[in-house]
Structure 1
Amino acid sequence: MSRNLFEVEAGADGLWAGTLPAFADSRKTMGRRWTPPAAFFLLFMLVPGVPGLLDDGMTTHTVVSLILLTAYSGAYLVFPVVMWGRSIAARVLLCCGLLLLGGGVVVAMGPDSLTVMIYATAVIAFAMPFGWALSLNGAAILTLVVIQLVEGTFVENIGVLVTVVSITIALFFMGQLIQTIRQLRNAQDEIATLAVSAERERLARDLHDILGHSLTTITVKAGLARRVLESQADTARAIEEIREVEGLSRRALSDVRATVSDYREVSLSAELVGARAALRAAEIDADLPHAVDNVRSDLQGPFGYVLREAITNVVRHSGARTVTVRLGPTWIEVTDDGAGSGSATPGNGLRGLSERLRGVGGKIESGPVEGGGFRLTARVSAPLKEHV
């Protein structure tokens, strides 16, 4: 009786809704979990009750009482198995039947047997959602009180009634506590799953940003070194480009390690330097800011990612001859005179940028420019105090 049979299901039905049993995946499994402890507690009702009935011999009253007691005990034992997988309406009907059997036992065996109702109220307290458990057990206890008042035995049995009410209330709150604990465990499992998914998405997004930009720049510089050697035989310049390729490769490896360990930070000023080198290697004229002091400090990291992705796309897809970058306190704009990516569907890079900007209250806008070219703008409208 120490385990909760049903989870409370949050939803349209609120406190009155219920789901399938939380700890069993079959009737057989549920029976193994419930029957042994239930049978043990049942002895506390049968051992004193049955001999007391037999003291008067096998009268009609004794036979009826034994039949009711047997039916009540059987319903108590098979309750979880019968209830498994049924709708809330069916479970309410079965609970009402259990309470009626308990009431019949009390009437047949006399007011001294009031405590047998604890078995029904305890099962309902553990098995039913909050609203139904409160309503059914409340109605059962009120009925017992009314019966005692009608029979004139209320004062005589007040102690027994208090015991029944106290135990029922205690079991009710214990059942609600177990339900809450089980819900918290489910929530923790869900949070852990979401955390793993979020970490996987972070790694995918960061590795895309890092490797996409670095490998694009390395490819462009390696191609430039090859062309220099083929056309001009300028060994010194080719060696310089290859040296920069080596440096980029080392930085990319360092960035990947920092990303995996979640220690990597992006600097807008460093990204400007990298953008200038990448555009120069791709033989694209660049009009870039010389400082980032006018950009809000908490936005320099996110805008660094924006600049990195925008320059990568320009070098890869645009075929542009010129690129212009403008910065403001809460915005960054990258414009080129190329043809764009040629796709109306945002790629992984732009989707990743959108997620980053949403984290600081901003958004990404991108599209062709009238007269030719492509523009990508990141803008944050949230005030500084929300992100410091």
Structure 2
Amino acid sequence: MRGERAAEDVLPARVTVAAMTSPSADPGPPNGAPGGLADGVDRRDDPLVGDVLVGDVADAGRRDEALAAGDLRQRRITAAYAIAFLVFLAFPAVELWSEGGWRAAVGLPLLALFVLAYAGGYLGRLLGMRAFRWLTRAGPWPWLIGLTALAAGLTAILGLPGLTCLTYVAAGAGATLPTRQSLSAIAACGMAMFIGTLAYTGSWLWASGLAFWTAGIGAIVWGSVAMSRHSDALTRAREEKAELAVELERTRLARDLHDILGHSLTVITVKAELAGRLIDTDPAQAKAEIIDLERLARDALADVRTTVSGYRQLSLPTELIRARKALQSAGITARVPGAADLVDTRLRDLFAWVVREGVTNVVRHSGASTCEITLGADEVVVRDDGTGPGGEMEPGNGLTGLRERARQVGAQATAGRAADGGFELCVRATEPAPPRPTAPSSLATKTQESAR
């Protein structure tokens, strides 16, 4: 029952990447420690780890759909404002209607064609309405040139009221063209408005005012569209960063669970086998081993709980003690330092993981009779006299995880056959450790051995 309660304690551990959308988030844990996700991650009110790791990635398509829906809403708003702006063309329409004659007969259909072309371009290009897609199928430039030609025809019929149609051309350019082309087209419309108004009225004030109005409307539309594009790009970047954080968390969990459970379960297996052999010949010792098994199982559950919570830290002195006990249980002679004072503080967490992974591999794979751990200010070596795996470390195992941890703190991990036989795991800082006060020699050289 106590084991079941301990297991239940592990399950509520939660993790999310919602806060990873913060631009200040940093996906890498400091000093090579497994840690959690970067700053800003809240694990309090989220689904279970497995669910969120799989679910968030699976929901990426739905998030893209939501982004597309938001973009569609923005495009609808832009099109609605642009079409509503056509209300100002009611004034030249009324003027043509009241004047009658050939100007009305030619001008009203021309004005209606301009309205349909202008509105249709927005509906086809921004909203994708099939009936109007042909207007901008070849791109926005043919559509804008057509609007300009219609505006020129209306100017020839109406004079200055027709010239104001250039304002709509400027707005269309701001909504549909890339930034540089858009600003150039808007400036051209403003200049044409200035020259035309000056020619019709002879007033520099009117010419300047209408030119500023035309260019201003185009610039406002361009700014609104550009802001929408940047907002969409930022939202997509944040979503991609959140998905990347999920992948980083999955990698962290896989690596840490391998390192932690691999060691704990190896020691538990060895002790269980030992208890099985002693149960008939030495029941008292077998009972002691079983009690120790319970302790190891509880420690493993606690390790899993802290790993999933994202706050897993190792202590090098503690790992040295655990290594000695694990080697003892496996019947391997252990030469383990009794202190870690000489090790640079920035490397102690990494070296603790090295000791754990190295001893786990010795117990599990090596068939060794002796294992020696040596520590220096910027180096740790785990060496045995067994056979071990041949060649260099292979991707996908715990040694690869050590390489990743080592890179994070500027160190290098190597593993392979030792020069004098056996297997050797070595992690060494690529940058020299800062000078430290000389530790007492008794602490630097103290080792403990235990024979089978």
TM-score clears 0.5:
yes
Asked if 1:283 corresponds to 2:331, the answer is yes
Equivalent residues of 1:114, 1:164 under 8 A apart: no
SS of 1:366 mapped into structure 2: strand
What residue in structure 2 maps to residue 128 of structure 1?
Answer: 177
What residue in structure 2 maps to residue 57 of structure 1?
Answer: 100
Aligned-partner Cα distance in 1 for 2:349–2:228: 45
Cα deviation per residue 1:57-96 (whole Å; 9 max; x = unaligned)? Answer: 141x44443344333322322224543699x994243454
Aligned-partner Cα distance in 1 for 2:313–2:223: 50
Equivalent residues of 1:71, 1:101 under 8 A apart: no
- How far has the Cα of 1:241 moved from its partner? 1.9
- Over 3 Å counting, the alpha-carbon distance change for 1:237 and 1:104 in structure 2 is same
Relative to the length of structure 1, the TM-score reads: 0.80
Q: Which runs of 5+ in 2 are unaligned?
A: 1-66, 435-452
What residue in structure 1 maps to residue 152 of structure 2?
Answer: 104
What residue in structure 2 maps to residue 15 of structure 1?
Answer: none
The counterpart of 2:426, out of the listed 360, 377, 387, is 377
What residue in structure 2 maps to residue 145 of structure 1?
Answer: 194
Equivalent residues of 2:197, 2:210 under 8 A apart: no
Aligned-partner Cα distance in 1 for 2:244–2:186: 39
Aligned-partner Cα distance in 1 for 2:195–2:260: 76
What residue in structure 1 maps to residue 443 of structure 2?
Answer: none
What residue in structure 2 maps to residue 212 of structure 1?
Answer: 262
Equivalent residues of 1:203, 1:259 under 8 A apart: yes
Aligned-partner Cα distance in 2 for 1:214–1:321: 20
Cα deviation per residue 1:194-231 (whole Å; 9 max; x = unaligned)? Answer: 2222222222222121111111111111112222335x
Q: Taking CA–CA contacts closer than 8 Å with sequence separation of 6 or more, which of the two structures ends up with the larger relative contact order?
A: 2
- Over 3 Å counting, the alpha-carbon distance change for 1:106 and 1:374 in structure 2 is farther
Relative to the length of structure 2, the TM-score reads: 0.70
What residue in structure 2 maps to residue 299 of structure 1?
Answer: 347
What residue in structure 1 maps to residue 380 of structure 2?
Answer: 332
- How far has the Cα of 1:121 moved from its partner? 2.3
What residue in structure 2 maps to residue 79 of structure 1?
Answer: 121
Equivalent residues of 1:216, 1:312 under 8 A apart: yes
- Over 3 Å counting, the alpha-carbon distance change for 1:369 and 1:103 in structure 2 is farther
Aligned-partner Cα distance in 1 for 2:294–2:199: 96
Cα deviation per residue 1:242-280 (whole Å; 9 max; x = unaligned)? Answer: 222111111111111111212221111111111111111
What residue in structure 2 maps to residue 187 of structure 1?
Answer: 237
| Map 1:6-25 → 2, pairs under 5 A | 23=68
Aligned-partner Cα distance in 2 for 1:368–1:214: 25
Aligned-partner Cα distance in 2 for 1:95–1:134: 17
- How far has the Cα of 1:350 moved from its partner? 2.2
Aligned-partner Cα distance in 2 for 1:137–1:75: 19
Q: Which runs of 5+ in 1 are unaligned?
A: 1-21
- Over 3 Å counting, the alpha-carbon distance change for 1:167 and 1:286 in structure 2 is same
Q: Aligned pairs, how many?
A: 358
Cα deviation per residue 1:310-366 (whole Å; 9 max; x = unaligned)? Answer: 211222122222222222223322222233335763333123222222222333222
Aligned-partner Cα distance in 2 for 1:305–1:238: 30
